[in-house]
A and B are shown apart, each in its own frame.
Chain A
């Protein structure tokens, strides 16, 4: 945006128009979204100051034309990009793959193996759903590539939309802009939902007639009548000055479906009635047709929202304003604000206005947290509105960050005592094969039996993650060589076998491991 503005300034100040269009196309092509912005702004400008400053108006129009061209060619490109969906490492996971009795199915919902761990996760999940446990912590521990993150993702998927789920990595909290505890507090509060019901009395109907009388004298108040109908009834409302004003502001006319908020008197147009669809031949593309409402005119509308405590924090932190919610740049939130919100939420809870929905906070790579964070977690877990904390680590006995002490999983003993530990086991060869074939499907790659067998072996010898990465790489090389399905990615996985290791930094193996070459 900044560079755009700068460019505009230059164009306005009168550089030669000969070079400018070229410049414009160049930059619009490189950044697609910007080109639209440029186009809109320039279009508006050239219209606005067309009378006063003829020169800049023409130039603006010229640039506008160029930009539109750029934008059109760009729009197609954008579509091309969006068509390809990003495939993440765990995009194939749809749930935990358990049956109704919480027994894990061998292969289901993208999950393979890890039966015991999945059953354990399922039990924890049931407790979460019932809201039975809050402020407990679960740790998923296991070797790299044994599906820890997959299980956490599965839990998130199985929880459904209503339960808040926040995923973060342990290293995310180290930032210059925000304290470690602030980042953790925000993560905690993101995972606590507050369910509230919004209730409004509205009048909803199709406008049959709007009649606004001209005032008899200059000082006289305006009067009018509004006839509204639903499929079942029709009635006339007398209008006062304020209502007339808001109706004219919304450009309400006969045939519109409108709602009027009873408390505030706010009028909103929902669209045109279907029965009036043929009133005019020429209609703007944004004209929306709506069915005439049924039932009573004066309705009560109830909407249930689940907002997170963090969202309420951001909305109410005065330095930022609620727009910070969209930019994501919330900065630190004052503890007074939080306290105030806590007491307000507690008040709502007592009045029966709100329910607390404890969610799940997932911290991956938890050994990256340091001793301060752990003691903070200890304390935060004891608060009565704490979410369920799920941590994952692949470390065994290791140093606790920030101290010289060692501890299992790099987690201090006092926090470890509060944890339920789910351990994951390395996958068997058959399971690896199944996971790889699921990934092949997910990544839209067809592979021969032989290739899957080779890939499975690579998975056994190196890691599952590496084998999964090779799928797409192999398919691309394959397509390039136009080889008929044979697996051709030797160059990449030879590296894994240690042949070139001594040429690189951090080489711990002095002799290459003897292995059959494929």
Chain B
């Protein structure tokens, strides 16, 4: 009985972890999207304004006035970091899902540990 309970609780814990990571991924994607929007806008207005002009940038709840080139640079860095973070989380998800499947007694999904390829690679070898 204890063993059963233990198994269920570990399965539940793993499932919880997976769900929270999924949420984290979508949160990161939201941030990444807003960074992308801001970046695009800044790049669009940059040529029209003077080189040393500043723009208001909103961080959470505070507005900061920063010069445009450095804010672009900052946003680009943010974007890159968010992307790598998401990639890391995605990679981490796979073994966790596999572990959950194993705990639930389901057959493991084969082939997901392979390197991805594109459909076109199959054609015209």
Which residues of A approach B to under 8 Å, CB–CB? Answer: 162, 195-200, 230, 232-233, 235-236, 238, 263, 295-298, 300, 302, 304, 306-307, 312, 315-316, 322, 340-341, 344, 348, 351-355
A235 touches B25 (CB 8 A): no
* Nearest CB of A to B38, in Å: 11
9 contacts between A and B (CB under 8 A): A196-B114, A199-B118, A296-B26, A298-B32, A304-B110, A306-B111, A312-B125, A353-B114, A355-B114
* Nearest CB of B to A53, in Å: 42
B116 touches A197 (CB 8 A): yes
12 other A-B residue contacts (CB within 8 Å) besides A235-B36, A316-B124: A195-B110, A195-B111, A195-B114, A197-B115, A232-B30, A238-B40, A295-B22, A295-B29, A298-B33, A316-B125, A341-B125, A351-B115
B88 at the interface (CB under 8 A from A): no
B116 touches A352 (CB 8 A): no
In B84-99, the 8 Å CB interface with A consists of: 90
Given known pairs A195-B110, A263-B118, the reply for A235 and B125 (CB within 8 Å) is no
B116 touches A198 (CB 8 A): yes
Alpha-carbon distance between A196 and B118 when the two chains are bound, in angstroms: 10
B29 touches A296 (CB 8 A): yes
A197 touches B125 (CB 8 A): no
Select from chain B the residue with minimum beta-carbon distance to A354. B114
Alpha-carbon distance between A196 and B111 when the two chains are bound, in angstroms: 7
Residues of B within 8 A of A304 (CB): 109-112, 114
Given known pairs A233-B29, A315-B123, the reply for A348 and B117 (CB within 8 Å) is yes
B6 at the interface (CB under 8 A from A): no
Q: Which of B25, B32, B111 has the most CB of A within 10 A?
A: B111
Alpha-carbon distance between A263 and B33 when the two chains are bound, in angstroms: 18
A198 touches B109 (CB 8 A): no
* Nearest CB of B to A236, in Å: 6
Select from chain A the residue with minimum beta-carbon distance to B87. A300
Alpha-carbon distance between A304 and B117 when the two chains are bound, in angstroms: 10
In B30-49, the 8 Å CB interface with A consists of: 30, 32-34, 36-37, 40
Residues of B within 8 A of A351 (CB): 115
Alpha-carbon distance between A232 and B28 when the two chains are bound, in angstroms: 12
B119 at the interface (CB under 8 A from A): yes
B37 touches A235 (CB 8 A): yes
* Nearest CB of B to A432, in Å: 37
Residues of A within 8 A of B125 (CB): 312, 316, 340-341, 344
Alpha-carbon distance between A344 and B125 when the two chains are bound, in angstroms: 8
* Nearest CB of B to A462, in Å: 44
Alpha-carbon distance between A263 and B117 when the two chains are bound, in angstroms: 12
Residues of A within 8 A of B1 (CB): none
Contact of B110 among A162, A302, A354 (CB under 8 A): A162
B29 touches A198 (CB 8 A): no
Alpha-carbon distance between A199 and B25 when the two chains are bound, in angstroms: 18
* Nearest CB of A to B90, in Å: 6
Contact of B33 among A198, A238, A297, A322 (CB under 8 A): A297
Residues of A within 8 A of B26 (CB): 230, 232-233, 295-296
Residues of A within 8 A of B34 (CB): 235
* Nearest CB of B to A456, in Å: 41
B122 at the interface (CB under 8 A from A): yes
Alpha-carbon distance between A234 and B33 when the two chains are bound, in angstroms: 9
Given known pairs A233-B26, A315-B122, A316-B125, the reply for A352 and B114 (CB within 8 Å) is yes
Alpha-carbon distance between A195 and B32 when the two chains are bound, in angstroms: 34
Given known pairs A195-B111, A195-B114, A355-B114, the reply for A236 and B119 (CB within 8 Å) is no
* Nearest CB of B to A476, in Å: 44
Contact of A197 among B22, B90, B114, B122 (CB under 8 A): B114
Contact of B117 among A199, A232, A238 (CB under 8 A): A199
Contact of B119 among A198, A230, A300, A306 (CB under 8 A): A198
Alpha-carbon distance between A230 and B28 when the two chains are bound, in angstroms: 14
Select from chain A the residue with minimum beta-carbon distance to B114. A197
* Nearest CB of B to A231, in Å: 9
Contact of B30 among A196, A233, A307, A340 (CB under 8 A): A233
A296 touches B25 (CB 8 A): yes
Alpha-carbon distance between A355 and B109 when the two chains are bound, in angstroms: 14
Residues of B within 8 A of A295 (CB): 22, 25-26, 29
Residues of A within 8 A of B109 (CB): 304
Alpha-carbon distance between A395 and B1 when the two chains are bound, in angstroms: 57
Alpha-carbon distance between A15 and B37 when the two chains are bound, in angstroms: 68
Top 5 A-B pairs, shortest CB-CB distance: A199-B116, A296-B29, A304-B111, A235-B33, A197-B114
Alpha-carbon distance between A302 and B110 when the two chains are bound, in angstroms: 12
* Nearest CB of B to A320, in Å: 13
Alpha-carbon distance between A5 and B25 when the two chains are bound, in angstroms: 58
Residues of A within 8 A of B28 (CB): 296
Alpha-carbon distance between A315 and B118 when the two chains are bound, in angstroms: 15
A300 touches B90 (CB 8 A): yes
Select from chain A the residue with minimum beta-carbon distance to B119. A198
Contact of A298 among B29, B116, B123, B124 (CB under 8 A): B29
B124 touches A198 (CB 8 A): no
Given known pairs A233-B26, A295-B26, the reply for A302 and B116 (CB within 8 Å) is yes
Residues of B within 8 A of A199 (CB): 116-118
* Nearest CB of B to A433, in Å: 37
Select from chain A the residue with minimum beta-carbon distance to B86. A296
Given known pairs A295-B26, A297-B29, the reply for A353 and B117 (CB within 8 Å) is yes
Residues of A within 8 A of B37 (CB): 235-236
Contact of A198 among B30, B117, B123 (CB under 8 A): B117
Alpha-carbon distance between A341 and B123 when the two chains are bound, in angstroms: 11
Residues of B within 8 A of A238 (CB): 40
Alpha-carbon distance between A143 and B29 when the two chains are bound, in angstroms: 66
Residues of A within 8 A of B30 (CB): 232-233, 235, 296
Q: Which of A295, A298, A355 has the most CB of B within 10 A?
A: A298
